[in-house]
Amino acid sequence: MITAICAIALVIVHLFSGKLRFLNTKPRSRWLSFGSGVSVAYVFIHILPELSKAQITLQSSLDIRLAFLEHHVYLVALLGLAVFYGLERFASKSRQRNQKAGKGDVTALDVFWIHIASFAVYNALIGYLLVHREESSIKSLLFYSFAMALHFVVNDNGLRENHKQIYDRIGRWLLVAAIILGWVTGIGTVIHQAAVAVLFAFLAGGIVLNVLKEELPEQRESRFWAFALGAIGYAILLLAL
């Protein structure tokens, strides 16, 4: 029941974050930078230490022929980062081509579908991990859900900038459906702890990239102090509780 409430909360964030007009400002809204800081803090303070522990479990479950992959959990995290970096560059190049062709500052339709399909998998993974995480306590669930909710607000802002109206008409609904699908799959299946570690590793890489791509470009005019406050404040909270 608690995971269902958290899944519904994440759905509501996707459906209504676009209504928060105060986020659409330049310089970048301090609230977006704050949310980015919270997401990164969750990765570095909670997910990565858990992956370090899971490394032992995953190594013991591997075929002996794969034993040379001593740092495979972190390789999966690197893969997650690389995949979403590639997707972001794909979308950016499409916007640039359309601008030069006089078609507006928006991605091509085929790029939209590839981008949204990829983020749907990402959201389904987040929904699935509401049920299956390295640590299964209620406290862990609430910390995870809060960090992901703020992360969704940041992601929504970036996806809306890339895809404009079609994101609100179609994209966000597909991402909402993906969260529910991931949660339902998690309720109906039980997977090995090693597999949970791999999923969390991929998610960690994706979160880091999706946060940095929103915060680092100079034209974003991001708020460093808001980012730092979110990261430091949430890190202290995670360590204290």
Higher-confidence position of 216 and 240? 240
Has residue 62 got a pLDDT over 70?
no
d(CA 233, CA 147): 12
pLDDT category of residue 9 using cuts at 50, 70 and 90: very high
Length of the chain: 241
As a whole number of angstroms, the distance between CA 94 and CA 99 comes to: 9
At 98, the amino acid letter reads N
Bigger pLDDT: 15 vs 71: 15
Asked whether the predicted pLDDT for residue 30 surpasses 70, the reply is yes
Evaluated on CA atoms 207, 208, 213, 216, the torsion sign reads positive
pLDDT band per the 50, 70, 90 thresholds, residue 23: low
Q: How confident is the model at residue 68 (pLDDT cuts 50, 70, 90)?
A: very low
- Report pLDDT for 164: 85
Cα dihedral across residues 58, 63, 66, 67: positive or negative: positive
Mean pLDDT of 109-133: 88
Mean pLDDT of 112-138: 85
Average of per-residue pLDDT across 199-228:
77
pTM of the full structure = 0.80
Nearest to 32 by CA among 196, 215, 160: 215
Residue 59 has pLDDT above 70, yes or no: no
Cα–Cα separations (whole angstroms), residue 107 to 97, 153, 191: 8, 20, 37
- Looking at residue 138, its pLDDT comes to 85
**What is the average pLDDT value for the chain, to the nearest integer?**
81
Give the model's confidence band at 70: pLDDT under 50 very low, under 70 low, under 90 confident, else very high: low
| DSSP-H helix ranges across the chain | 2-16, 30-42, 48-61, 72-100, 109-128, 138-163, 165-166, 172-188, 193-215, 224-240
